[in-house]
Amino acid sequence: MLEALPRATFSLLAGSLTLKRLASRYGMRRTSSFARRFIAGEDIADAIEAAHAIEREGLLVTLDLLGESVVTSEDAARATRSYIEVIGEVERSGIDRNLSVKLSQLGLDVDRATGIDNLRRLLDAATPGNFFVRVDMESSKYTAHTLDAVETLWGIGYRNVGVVIQSYLRRSKDDVERMNRLGIRVRLVKGAYRESRDVAFHQKTAVDAAFVELMERLLLGGTYPAIATHDPIILDATKKFAAVQGIGQDKFEFQMLYGIRRDLQAAFASEGYRFRVYVPFGREWFPYFMRRLGERPANVGFVFRSLLRDKS
């Protein structure tokens, strides 16, 4: 059964060009019951509509125009222009001015200079409207390049940029300390990419233990960290640690993915915590969707049957 596939398999499926072409051909109409649970839609209007609904519940949002692994400078420039257009639409909509972006989407795979230059263009467009831009973390081959790019722009005066650290990577303790020293805002996540054992912890207990340790370091020494997890045990541990240390609710925030644990999102917001929902959208939704299914594989068989059933 597809539902029993191991998580690593979903990482491979996320890179399947054949499945991606099928998903692009049919859009989200064949998977609306499931893909639309995790993805707001294929265009900015869908994302803004979803964001308004989230904000009416007392929650915050960050928008992510899905896309990654751009390999030409032309495509990287096109993706950058698309994000700049998103900035304009968000300004007109009145929703929270917070964006998430991947460096590979901006051309890091073309070369380092292309990725950094396009990120700088994006930050220049975002600065006048007081946008905050979070650079998402991708697989471990991008980790050092991503952190270096953010630090480079931080060093020349950009303060509206942050980054993501993954607790399952063995290097992350040093990376958290580095970001804390600089004052760069960090979103802490567990990590969703397939990695080797020499690079990442594979046991859930080890990943969770690392997450808690890094959470504590960020709350004590970081700059407005974002604790991004759906794990109720870790969420509770974060609340307790902050209370014991006398860390106010305005000094950090929780984050969750769109469509997951809405009950917890509402409960935490009602308790006065700042809670941000990561709202992905765009036509390049398939790789993201596969990674989410790898974390929550229920009903995977139905999704694939929906994609493949009608080719007419």
For residue 259, what pLDDT is reported? 86
pLDDT category of residue 290 using cuts at 50, 70 and 90: confident
Rounded Cα distance between 180 and 269, Å, is: 26
Our separate counts of H helices and E strands in the chain read: 13, 8
Q: Could you say which of 30, 120, 134, 187 is catalytic?
A: 187
For residue 303, what pLDDT is reported? 47
Rounded Cα distance between 251 and 235, Å, is: 15
Residue-range domains of the chain with CATH:
40-284 (3.20.20.220)
Q: What is the mean pLDDT of residues 147-166?
A: 98
As given in the structure block, the two tokens for residue 221 are 């020494």
Question: Which of 19-23, 138-142, 214-218 has the least mean pLDDT?
Answer: 19-23
Q: Could you say which of 136, 185, 208, 276 is catalytic?
A: 136
Rounded Cα distance between 92 and 287, Å, is: 29
Q: 21 near 289, Cβ under 8 Å?
A: no
Does the annotation mark 231 as catalytic? Answer: no
Rounded Cα distance between 157 and 160, Å, is: 9
Task: Report the percent of the chain where pLDDT is more than 70.
Answer: 82
Please check the confidence at residue 219 and state whether its pLDDT lies above 90.
yes
pLDDT tens column, 57-67: 999 999 999 98
Does the annotation mark 136 as catalytic? Answer: yes
Q: 24 near 304, Cβ under 8 Å?
A: no
